[in-house]
Amino acid sequence: MTVQPIGETCSDDVLVSAARAGDRTAFGLLYGRYARVVHGILLCRVPPRDVDDLVQEVFLLVLRQLHSLRDISRFGAWLSTITRNRANDYYRKASPVDRATDPAGEEQAEIRTNDHAVEQEAAMTLAVLRTLPETYRESLTLRLVEGMTGPEIAARMGLTHGSVRVNLHRGMQMLREKLDEKARSAAQNMGKAR
């Protein structure tokens, strides 16, 4: 029997099996492959200031629960579900002040205090993106913020490439419409202010 060394070219199934057996290198490689997915899903749901800490919490939880994963070929979908649940828990455990803080409103506050036009535009776009339906919001965040390709998103999320392509296309249409609407509204408000 030949033992394949754990490396970056190993399949997720091999890495999950090795990580279940206690191989920390394999788990580190899984972290490297999936950290952007977890970050993107959380960025859609919780205030940006808390995303990095929650990414770490998700992976610690995954490490503890890896033995409960029934089908190792579904690791990406399982991880995504854990991430969404952790985001929901964030709001259940949050203080009333944190719960009252709307993530989209938080970006608006950042826009007002930020001097850089590009950063303002990015924060506004993220705020608008967060108003989209979950399916589009996640796919677009992974594409636009995390820089993942359609096939990468499909592979990491356990989706078909076709469904990701449709989600990205429809999501971009919705995002453009909402951004255009927001720009028109801002222009009208500027006209009224004069």
In which domain, by residue range, is 96 found? Answer: 9-101
For residue 96, what pLDDT is reported? 56
79 is a domain residue = yes
96 is a domain residue = yes
If you average pLDDT over residues 35-62, what whole number do you get?
Answer: 94
If you average pLDDT over residues 145-160, what whole number do you get?
Answer: 92
With a CB cutoff of 8 Å and minimum separation 6, the contacts of 15 are 6, 26, 27, 29, 30, 33
If you average pLDDT over residues 5-21, what whole number do you get?
Answer: 84
Model pTM above 0.85: no
83 is a domain residue = yes
134 is a domain residue = no
For residue 125, what pLDDT is reported? 83
111 is a domain residue = no
22: left (phi over 0), alpha (psi -120 to 50) or beta: left
For residue 119, what pLDDT is reported? 75
60 is a domain residue = yes
Residue 28: which pLDDT band, with cuts at 50, 70 and 90? very high
The full DSSP string for 144-187 is IIS---HHHHHHHHT--HHHHHHHHHHHHHHHHHHHHHHHHHHH
Q: Is the pLDDT of residue 3 over 60?
A: no
pLDDT tens figures, 67-110: 999 999 999 999 999 999 999 999 888 755 554 444 454 544 44
- Mean pLDDT, the chain, rounded, equals 85
CA end-to-end distance (rounded Å), the chain: 79
**Which amino acid is present at 188?**
Q
Give the total number of structural domains in the chain.
1
The CATH number assigned to the domain holding 87 equals 1.10.1740.10
In angstroms, rounded to a whole number, what is the distance separating the alpha carbons of residues 23 and 19?
5
